[in-house]
Amino acid sequence: MFWQTTRFRIDLGRPRVMGIVNITPDSFSDGGQHASTAAALRHCERLIEEGADILDIGGESSRPGSDPVSLEDELARVLPVLRDAARLGVPLSIDTYKPGVMRAALDLGVDIVNDIAALGQPGALEVVASHPSCGVCLMHMRGEPKTMQAEEPVYGDVVAEVAAFLRERADAVRAAGVAAERITLDPGIGFGKTSAHNLALLARQRELLPLGYPLLVGWSRKRTLGEVTGRPVGDRVAASVAAALASVNHGARIVRVHDVAATADALKVWGAAGSGDAAAS
């Protein structure tokens, strides 16, 4: 199994770690820590040293209740980092739902578009389709970040509804001319879902595998882990690693994390024990 991206054909025969680089003042767990270009680049380099296979760079927080950022502000945050991070030798992902940011990032040679709106914004699908080799991650979200948790989300069967949405979006992307090997899917843990919904998606995650695309899953430091453990956001490393391992054990091929070193070490042990072969089969 491979993920075709702009500069890299990523081998998913073993689980891959996507390290999070938030260039924002208001992200839920590390807002403001890497907001300057210099700090963000140092963080990129550190994540690679810790074992990140992919860097996911974003300039707008998507935490519940977050305010949208203008196109101009988002571009000002991410483009200097993307330009310099391109020399680091690993695939770069731009975490955005704005077509203008996608276009500017892809014009710099960025490898992946990671879109919480699953290319649903007007013009987004056309931008990705016009770049013939970039990778794309399509995520499920109910509502939008500002309001998605304002009222408790309701589903009949959350796994079936997430699967149906992801299938529809993948079909639309394929119809626009994007090859299947460029596509990954993300169930959107915490995006318009209760803790019960999130845990159901983890327990039944294998039901998403018949969609036929690699799964990229992000549990890192999220509120559900705090509700399960009683830990504040800064003390959720162990819970995040456990969730990442459980997700990989249920078929995820990429995990999106803040704590790269701990996750990478855990995956090495998991793989050495033979679990990697079982999950890939």
Give the catalytic positions in this structure. Answer: 222, 256
Residues 6+ away with beta carbon under 8 Å from 85: 41, 44, 55, 57, 92
Residues 6+ away with beta carbon under 8 Å from 3: 9, 10, 12, 135, 181, 182, 184, 214, 253, 254
| Torsion sign over Cα 192, 73, 84, 122 | positive
- Four-point Cα dihedral 90, 180, 241, 7, nearest 10: 0
Strand 2-4 relative to strand 9-11, pairing:
antiparallel
Return the structure tokens found at 38.
């210099």
Cα 148 → chain centroid:
18
